[in-house]
Amino acid sequence: MLITLKNILDIAESKNMAVAAFNVTSLEGILAVIEAAQEEDTPVILQFANIAHGKYIPLETIGKVMVMMADESKVPVCVHLDHGDNFDEIKRALDLGFTSVMYDGSALPFSENVANTRYVTSLANEYGASIEAELGAMGAEGDNENILGEYTDPEAAKLFVGETGIDALAASFGTVHGIYKSEPKLDFERIEKIRESTGIPVVMHGGSGISDADFRKCIDCGVRKINFYTYAAKYAGDAVRQMVESTSGNIYSHDILVSLRQSMIKTYKDAIRIFKNRQSF
C-alpha cells in the first residue's frame, strides 16, 4: 500500500513511535525492507539518496521498482527521495511516483533555503506528495564532532516551518551520517523544543549507531522518522565476509545476494522493533 509521508507520520504520531526510513541501493535492499516490514506488520519508508547512491544505480531504475513494490506491499509504505538538492532531481522522483521528497538546503543561507523549500513544497503539492526539509548541519560520515552553533535552533525552525509549509523537519541535535567514532551525545531538550515550536514531526538523520535507549528517548521527545542505512550495509558486508571465509568450494553470486538479503532483513526487523517504541499494531 503506497501512502504519503504525512500519512505515515500521522500513524507514527498516533502510536508515539517512529517510522523506520531505510535507504536502498539495490533490489536486494528493497526486498529486505518490504519483507521485514510485512513480517513486523509495521509501516515503513523506502528511500533513495540519489546524491550519495546514484553512482551505484540510476534513480529512474531503482525508483520504478521501489514504487511498484511499495504499492504491492501488505503494509503501508512511503517512497521517499532522501537529500534531494536540486529541483530537477526532485521533479524526476515525483514523476516516478515517489510520495515524498526531501529538499536539503541546509548548507544555504536561511532565506535561500526558505525560498527553495517553499518552491519544492508547491511542486510536491501538485503531485499530492509530502515534503521534508532540513535546517541545521550534521557532520559527514566518519565525523562525529558536531558544532553546537550548527545545531537546529528551535525559534529558527518555527519560522522556517511557518514560511515553507513542510510536513517534517530534519533537525540537527547530535547525530551524524555514517560510522560513529565515539558515543554520540544527543541534545534531547533541543528535540522537544523543536517539536513544540514547529508542531510537526522531527526527523533523525544519521540513525545508525545510536543506542536503543537513546532511540526511545528521541521518539518520546518528538522524533517520528529515523533514517537508517550505514550499519545495515556494514552488517550485510560482514555476513558476506563470513560466508566467504566459511566456504571451501565455489562461491556463486546468487548465494552472496541471498546472504546480503538475509542479513538486511534481520537488521531492519531489529530496527523496526526498536522504533515502534514498545507499541503494537
Letter string b/e over residues 104-118, b meaning 16 or more CB atoms within 10 A of that residue's CB: bbbeeeeeebbebbb
Cell for 83?
537529500
Domain layout of the chain by residue ranges: 5-275
Query: Residues 155-175: what's their mean pLDDT?
Result: 95
Residue with cell 560520515: 141
The SS3 assignment for 203 reads strand
Q: Is 82 a catalytic residue?
A: yes
Neighbours of 97 (CB within 10 A): 17
| Topology classification of domain 5-275 | TIM Barrel (3.20.20)
Which of these is catalytic: 10, 41, 82, 238?
Answer: 82
Which of 16-20, 176-180, 243-247 shows the lowest per-residue confidence on average (mean pLDDT)?
A: 176-180
Q: Name every residue whose Cβ is closer than 8 Å to that of residue 109 and which is 6 or more positions away in sequence.
A: none
Give me the pLDDT at residue 278, please: 76
pTM over 0.85: yes
- Residue ranges for the known binding site are 83, 104, 134, 177-178, 205-208, 227-230
Give me the pLDDT at residue 174, please: 82
Mean residue pLDDT of the chain comes to: 92
Residue with cell 532540513: 134
How far is Cα 197 from Cα 169, in angstroms, rounded to an integer? 12
Cα 210 to the center of its chain, rounded Å: 14
- Residue ranges for the known binding site for Zn(2+) are 83, 104, 134, 177, 205
Res. 148: pLDDT tops 70: no
Q: What is the pLDDT of residues 221-274, one digit of tens each?
A: 999 999 999 999 999 999 999 999 998 889 999 999 999 999 999 999 999 999
Res. 147: pLDDT tops 50: no
- Residue ranges for the known binding site for dihydroxyacetone phosphate are 178, 206-208, 227-230
